[in-house]
Amino acid sequence: MSDNGCGFPAPGLHSFLFKPIATVGGFEFNKVMLLALVTTLLVITFFTLAFGKAKVVPGKLQMIGEAGYDFVRRGIVYETLGRKEGEKYVPLMVSLFFFIWIMNIWSVIPLAQFPVSSIIAYPMVLALVVYVVWVSLTFKKHGFVGFFKNVTGYDKSLGPVLPLVVIIEFFSNLLVRPFTHAVRLFANMFAGHLMLVMFTVASWYLLNSWMIPAAGVSFIMTIVMILFELFVQAVQAYVFVLLACSYIQGALAEHH
């Protein structure tokens, strides 16, 4: 019997907590870390097998790899940064896209059934990688003074409001930007998993009561949520990489 007195095990923050699988030297290794590690190995293994011995006439695995690679390269990087500037950032963006997508898709995989991105530490680290690249490129392209103008939107024509704009843009770009970049991914995966768990548990709970018709409705909603989550998981990977490219575009843009 749950704390709410009706017996329904309502999902909550406890749905995102996992006991350690193993503890080595005081370091706890849990299910989420295992899924993140498996995700890394899957991405590396897939692209190694797909392109390790690339052929002029590609096999099935190479064709799938090329399709995924070209989707990110042409559909995101080239569209945002252009072919000439964007080519050097394609490997990073492809890695980010597929790493995030697979981390998300664990949510609907039996036995795993948990999106790694719903633990904010993982989106934060990925956002930090993009942040470091963005800051480094801005310094390299514009120098210290140019970096200041780039991140503050410095423009003498703004007149009396210039100091206010500089302060707002400075905090927005250097502090708020990496936070929102990570939270956008985290919040969508967190909410999606919570909804999916709720309908799944509700289906089982209602099936074991006199409200069997309601269980059928809940089960249908579970299927709908799974299909919707599959869409959202891909979209969130796309949006994360699209924003990363837009930040790099801003770093490379000339400030007037």
Per-residue pLDDT band at 153 (split at 50, 70, 90): confident
Q: Are 186 and 239 in contact (CB under 8 A)?
A: no
Q: CA 136 to CA 138: how far, in whole Å?
A: 5
Model confidence pLDDT, tens digit, residues 58-87: 788 889 999 999 999 999 999 999 998 899
Residue 169 three-state SS: helix
Q: What is the pLDDT, as a whole number, of residue 179?
A: 93
Q: CA 96 to CA 244: how far, in whole Å?
A: 9
Model confidence pLDDT, tens digit, residues 92-128: 999 999 999 999 999 989 888 899 999 999 999 999 9
Q: Are 99 and 241 in contact (CB under 8 A)?
A: no
pLDDT surpassing 70 at residue 3: no
Q: Are 24 and 30 in contact (CB under 8 A)?
A: no
Side-chain half-sphere CA neighbours of 160 within 13 A:
0
pTM of whole model > 0.95?
no
CA angle, 19 then 24 then 30, to 5°: 25
Q: CA 2 to CA 56: how far, in whole Å?
A: 61
Q: CA 168 to CA 176: how far, in whole Å?
A: 10
* Residue at 93: amino acid letter: M
Q: What is the pLDDT, as a whole number, of residue 127?
A: 96
